[in-house]
């Protein structure tokens, strides 16, 4: 290792050096030194703590590069440059920086959130990575939709709902879910004024850890819990008490709503291998349409549109 790389072992000194940098080329050199040392430490099978200390220096340097990059002028809004080049790109290429958007994404994170992520990952002894910060930045920068005010008008007598449950007690799980869609806590879900008819059927998906929340939500929305079905995902999931491989479809009613005719009632357990994250089997749409024909259907937190349904969600 070079003398410069050895100096990076003084973590606090390296942090100060990055904060005091006034030149993008200078901070890029620190970033490259840290990356080389991180690769060396990994090959030498150094502890995760040592590898993360080195990676922390790399990430701090990448955040600083992003801060410098955001201050540079860009010609992208200028018609005469739009199809040929970006002035910022040309400037950064001269110092060997090709994908400045990645650094700017990291720099977009508030210092408090950046520091919290670093400390959480190091405390868990998981691997600290640039990709982890980029995922966090993607979630942070996702447009915030006013979901409550955008609910469809009118009333529906069948509501099919897959709430985006928030898992505050498991930060790593929560970030993994947020990488797919924005989550909501129980109070936010309770605020939704769902477009339920006087006589209405609610079919609500709940994961095992969120069963208590789901029952409380059903009551808040003015429904009475009746029963549930089980989707057996036929896989080996995550969990503390059990490796969860099922999900619950809770059935609740408001006013007067009759169950399916006896001749078309199906088994409460349905088995189908889980596919794309949070996607539910088409089987349940088909079961709803067959069991309750000629009704007005709405899916809340939908991820796809379906013929003869009103679909509402952030991912459509």
Q: Which residue has tokens 């005010």?
A: 149
Task: Summarize pLDDT for 60-96 with one digit per residue, the tens.
Answer: 999 999 988 888 876 544 444 333 445 677 778 777 7
Q: What pLDDT is attached to residue 95?
A: 73
Last residue of a domain, one of 140, 170, 192: 140
- Give me the pLDDT at residue 214, please: 97
Q: Is residue 145, in this structure, part of any structural domain at all?
A: no
Domain containing 213 — which CATH number?
3.40.50.150
**End of a domain among 90, 113, 140?**
140
Q: Is residue 23 part of a domain?
A: yes
Whose structure tokens read 């989707």? Answer: 231
150 found inside a domain: no
pLDDT, mean over the chain: 84
Q: How far apart are CA 37 and CA 201, in angstroms?
A: 60
One domain, residues 57 and 203: no
DSSP state of 79: T
Q: How many domains does the chain have?
A: 2
Q: Is the pLDDT of residue 149 over 50?
A: no
Same domain for 166 and 132: no
Are residues 303 and 273 part of one domain?
A: yes
Residues 305 and 168 occupy one common structural domain: yes
Task: Show the domain range for 67.
Answer: 3-140
Residues 71 and 174 in one domain: no
Q: 100 or 295, which is more confident?
A: 295
In a domain, 160, yes or no: yes
Alpha-carbon separation of residue 34 from 6, 41, 133 (angstroms)? 10, 10, 17
Cα–Cα distance, 35 to 11 (Å, whole number)? 14
Which range among 67-71, 263-267, 276-280, 287-291 shows the weakest confidence by mean pLDDT?
276-280
Per-residue pLDDT reduced to its tens digit, 10-31: 777 777 778 777 788 888 888 8
CA distance 180 to 142: 11
**With the C-alpha atoms ordered 124, 127, 133, 139, is the resulting torsion angle positive or negative?**
negative
Q: Tell me, yes or no, whether 220 and 73 share the same domain.
A: no
Residue 238's CB is within 10 A of a number of other CB atoms, namely 11
Q: Are residues 296 and 208 in the same domain?
A: yes
Q: Residue 151: inside a domain, yes or no? A: no
Asked whether 106 and 63 are in contact (CB, 8 A), the reply is yes
Same domain, 135 and 160: no
- Range scoring the smallest mean pLDDT among 138-142, 196-200, 271-275: 138-142
pLDDT band of 254, cuts 50, 70, 90: very high
In a domain, 16, yes or no: yes
Flag whether pLDDT at 4 surpasses 80. no
Q: If DSSP codes are grouped into helix, strand and coil, which group holds residue 234?
A: coil
Q: Are residues 198 and 53 in the same domain?
A: no
126 with 24, same domain: the answer is yes
Backbone angles phi, psi at 46, to 5 degrees: -65, 160
Residue 261 lies in a domain: yes
What gap in Å lies between CA 207 and CA 285, rounded to an integer?
Answer: 19
Dist CA 302 CA 224 (whole Å): 23
CA angle (43 as vertex; 40, 44 as ends), nearest 5: 85
| Sheet with 196-206: strands ordered across | 269-271, 224-232, 246-254, 196-206, 156-161, 297-300, 309-312
Please check whether residue 281 lies inside any domain of the structure: yes
Return the pLDDT at 188. Answer: 86
Radius of gyration of the chain (CA): 25
Of 99-103, 194-198, 215-219, 220-224, minimum mean pLDDT range: 99-103
Domain shared by 175 and 64, yes or no? no
Q: Kind of pairing, strands 196-206 and 156-161?
A: parallel
Report whether 85 contacts 43 (CB < 8 A): no
Q: How far apart are CA 125 and CA 36, in angstroms?
A: 21
Same domain, 119 and 203: no
Asked which of 140, 170, 188 is the last residue of a domain, the reply is 140
């Amino acid at each position: 290792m070079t003398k410069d790389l050895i100096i990076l072992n003084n973590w606090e000194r390296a942090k100060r050096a990055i904060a005091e940098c006034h030149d993008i080329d200078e901070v890029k050199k620190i970033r490259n030194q840290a990356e080389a040392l991180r690769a060396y430490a990994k090959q030498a099978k150094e502890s995760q703590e040592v590898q993360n200390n080195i990676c922390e220096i790399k990430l701090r340097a990448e955040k600083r590069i992003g801060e410098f990059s955001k201050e540079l002028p860009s010609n992208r809004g200028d018609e005469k440059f739009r199809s040929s080049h970006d002035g910022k790109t040309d400037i950064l290429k001269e110092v060997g920086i090709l994908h400045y958007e990645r650094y700017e994404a990291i720099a977009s994170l508030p210092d408090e959130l950046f520091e919290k992520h670093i400390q959480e990952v190091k405390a868990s002894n998981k691997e600290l990575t640039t990709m982890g910060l980029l995922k966090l930045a993607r979630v942070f920068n996702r447009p915030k939709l006013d979901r409550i005010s955008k609910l469809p008008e009118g009333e529906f007598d069948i509501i099919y709902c897959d709430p985006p449950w928030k898992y505050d007690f498991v930060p790593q799980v929560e970030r993994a879910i947020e990488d797919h869609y924005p989550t909501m806590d129980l109070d936010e879900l309770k605020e939704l004024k769902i477009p339920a008819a006087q006589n209405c059927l609610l079919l609500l998906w709940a994961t095992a850890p969120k069963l208590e929340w789901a029952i409380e939500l059903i009551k808040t929305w003015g429904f009475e819990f009746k029963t549930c079905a089980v989707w057996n995902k036929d896989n080996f999931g995550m969990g503390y008490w059990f490796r969860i491989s099922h999900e619950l479809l809770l059935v609740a009613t408001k006013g007067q709503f009759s169950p399916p005719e006896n001749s078309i009632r199906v088994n409460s357990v349905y088995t189908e291998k889980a596919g794309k994250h949070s996607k539910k089997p088409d089987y349940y749409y088909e079961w709803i349409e067959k069991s309750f024909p000629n009704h007005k259907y709405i899916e809340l937190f939908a991820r796809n549109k379906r013929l003869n349904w009103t679909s509402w969600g952030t991912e459509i």
